[in-house]
A = this chain, B = another copy of it.
């Protein structure tokens, strides 16, 4: 994980706490960390529970591997929470968007892609994620 990626995760955790969610960043590193699936961030407010896979890019496209999406889904089904891909394009917007997995474009190789120009505004903004 790059420093920019870590900073983005921390910024999202801060934003969630500010909006009355308890949120935790789950570091990916450490021995045994590949044994069970885990999201980048988990959050709850007693009503809604979310698991986030966080991706940022300085370019126009963000790619997600089939396996990380499957891990996010299987974790979320078992835990009892709603999975989202949390995206920020660093060069172009400081705004988060949140994608339901069913809305993601599949690439020819079976992975997933979010294109800034084609897809970004299809994601939920932060207020919509919170049901506001």
Contacts and interface: CB of A to CB of B under 8 A. Distances in A.
A79 B13 CA distance: 13
B13 A45 contact: no
A44 B79 contact: yes
A88 interface: no
Copies of this chain in the oligomer: 2
Interface stretch (A26-34, A52-60, A90-98, A122-130): A26-34
Contact of A46 (B10, B23, B30, B78): B78
A112 interface: no
Contacts of A43: 79
Interface of A: 10, 13, 17, 20-24, 26-27, 30, 32, 36-38, 42-47, 49, 75-81
